[in-house]
């Protein structure tokens, strides 16, 4: 491809690792166009992206550090109490972006769900699959929707990682009745993985992900049941900051704290089925790999609870609530799950090319 030497600044939200992983295919495509990439991140997000792209410059950028409640009844209250800090981070990242643009001569900005990560001086893209926000209460849905659009409309354009027509992975979340005022483009499914034809080695691949404390709660529930399973199982704990030391007492179980994209891609391909959260980036990975899976929505997270019902109704995946999770029953699902997975065009490649030509 032609040289253009565009200097692009990218920052994913630090709400779990899914925002970072779905930026991976976008970064790869930008690199194919000879862009110079700068990533704003810290903590686990920075560690993951540095592993995937060792030569790319990571600029320290403070995250939102959202904390979840363990119970649904306190979910909204927990989020509301964090709004002052979130607002403070939004103002901070707005100043941070302007300084980074000057320092590194940036001419294009891409924000994955970071509300203040834009500039009025250069083209700025906002990425989200959740144009319509689910909070669990209609009144708060309307308030959150209005606030979200207020920030989206400050960007030049909005990219939605979902299909525009036919099967949509996020349903009403990505296809609300009213779109933002800025141009909206549908990227298709974004995944850092590709389909591999490998011999099956594991009956089940368990992927632990998401923010605390529910990440640990999910893991503890699973570990308490694995001694009853005889099938060969592999588990990835979603902890990129920890060393890959496997500490367990089950011969049939292999545990990794974290795997890079290439290794995790192979592990999933070698597994008959997957058990995971219903995080949106995980869903896009499973769709891309055409992999059979049982999804467990994070308790008290209305978005994930909506997604599993939407996907189940469309015949894509089965799901189980965390309180009802039984690994023995999950292992039986691989024989009964009839999916209607479809592959649609990778629109994001053309959209990125067109965007770069406008810089």
Condensed to tens digits (0 to 9), the pLDDT of residues 167-224 reads: 899 999 999 999 999 999 999 999 999 999 999 999 999 999 877 788 899 999 999 9
pLDDT of res. 337:
45
Q: How many CB atoms lie within 10 A of CB 271?
A: 26
pLDDT of res. 17:
84
pLDDT of res. 73:
58
Count Cβ neighbours within 10 Å for each residue of 86-120 and write b for 16 or more, e otherwise. Answer: eeebeeebbebbeebbeeeebbbbbbbbbbbbbbe
- Asked, for residue 219, whether it belongs to a domain, the answer is yes
Domains in the chain, number: 2
- In this structure, what token pair is assigned to residue 201? 């080695």
In this structure, the answer to whether residues 59 and 165 fall within a common structural domain is yes
- In this structure, what token pair is assigned to residue 36? 């110079």
In this structure, the answer to whether residues 125 and 182 fall within a common structural domain is yes
In this structure, the answer to whether residues 34 and 136 fall within a common structural domain is yes
Structural contact between residues 171 and 306, judged by C-beta atoms closer than 8 angstroms: yes
pLDDT of res. 84:
82
In this structure, the answer to whether residues 241 and 175 fall within a common structural domain is no
- Domain range for 267 is 202-336
Structural contact between residues 20 and 12, judged by C-beta atoms closer than 8 angstroms: yes
- In this structure, what token pair is assigned to residue 278? 């219903």
Residues 6+ apart with CB under 8 A from 244: 256, 257, 258, 259
- Asked, for residue 22, whether it belongs to a domain, the answer is yes
The Cα–Cα gap between 233 and 272 comes to 10
In this structure, the answer to whether residues 267 and 161 fall within a common structural domain is no
Q: 75-79: which pairs have CB atoms within 8 A and are 24 or more residues apart? A: 75/136, 75/300, 75/301, 75/302, 76/135, 76/136, 76/137, 76/140, 79/135
In this structure, the answer to whether residues 184 and 215 fall within a common structural domain is no
Give the DSSP letter of residue 336. Answer: H
The Cα–Cα gap between 238 and 231 comes to 22
In this structure, the answer to whether residues 184 and 208 fall within a common structural domain is no
In this structure, the answer to whether residues 24 and 165 fall within a common structural domain is yes
pLDDT of res. 137:
79
In this structure, the answer to whether residues 185 and 206 fall within a common structural domain is no
- For the chain, residues with pLDDT lower than 70 are 1-4, 67-78, 243-249, 334-345
Which one, of 94, 106, 113, 132, lies nearest residue 18 by Cα? 113
Element (H, E) at 20: helix 18-21
In this structure, the answer to whether residues 77 and 181 fall within a common structural domain is yes
- In this structure, what token pair is assigned to residue 196? 């591999």
Give me the CATH number covering residue 44.
3.40.50.2000
Would residue 127 be called left, alpha or beta, if left means φ above 0 and alpha means ψ between -120 and 50 degrees? beta
């Amino acid at each position: 491809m032609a040289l253009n030497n565009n200097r692009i600044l990218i920052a994913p939200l630090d709400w779990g690792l899914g925002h970072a992983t779905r930026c991976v295919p976008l970064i790869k495509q930008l690199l194919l166009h000879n862009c110079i990439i700068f990533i704003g991140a810290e903590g686990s997000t920075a560690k993951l992206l540095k592993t995937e792209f060792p030569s790319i410059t990571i600029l320290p950028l403070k995250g939102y550090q959202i904390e979840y409640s363990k119970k649904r009844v306190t979910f909204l209250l927990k989020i509301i109490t964090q709004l002052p800090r979130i607002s403070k981070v939004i103002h901070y990242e707005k100043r941070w972006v302007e300084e980074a643009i000057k320092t590194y001569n940036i001419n294009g900005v891409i924000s994955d769900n970071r509300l203040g990560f834009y500039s009025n001086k250069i083209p700025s893209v906002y990425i989200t699959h959740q144009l319509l926000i689910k909070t669990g209460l209609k009144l708060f849905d309307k308030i959150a929707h209005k606030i979200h659009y207020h920030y989206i409309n400050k960007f030049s354009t909005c990219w939605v990682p979902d299909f525009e027509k036919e099967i949509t992975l996020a349903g009403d979340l990505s296809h609300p009745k009213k779109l933002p005022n800025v141009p909206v483009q549908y990227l298709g499914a974004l995944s850092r993985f590709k389909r591999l034809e490998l011999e099956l080695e594991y009956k089940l691949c368990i992927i632990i992900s998401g923010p605390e404390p529910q990440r640990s709660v999910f893991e503890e529930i699973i570990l308490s049941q694995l001694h009853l399973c005889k099938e060969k199982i592999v588990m990835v704990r979603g902890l990129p900051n920890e060393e890959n030391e496997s500490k367990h007492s089950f011969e049939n179980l292999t545990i990794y704290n974290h795997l890079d994209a290439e290794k995790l891609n192979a592990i999933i391909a070698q597994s008959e089925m997957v058990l995971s959260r219903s995080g949106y980036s995980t869903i896009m990975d499973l769709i891309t790999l055409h992999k059979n899976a049982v999804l467990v929505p994070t308790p008290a997270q209305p978005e994930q609870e909506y997604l599993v019902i939407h996907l189940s109704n469309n015949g894509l995946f089965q799901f189980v609530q965390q309180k009802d999770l039984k690994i023995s029953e999950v292992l039986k699902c691989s024989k009964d799950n009839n999916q209607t997975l479809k592959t649609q065009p990778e629109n994001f490649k053309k959209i990125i090319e067109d965007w770069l030509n406008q810089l």
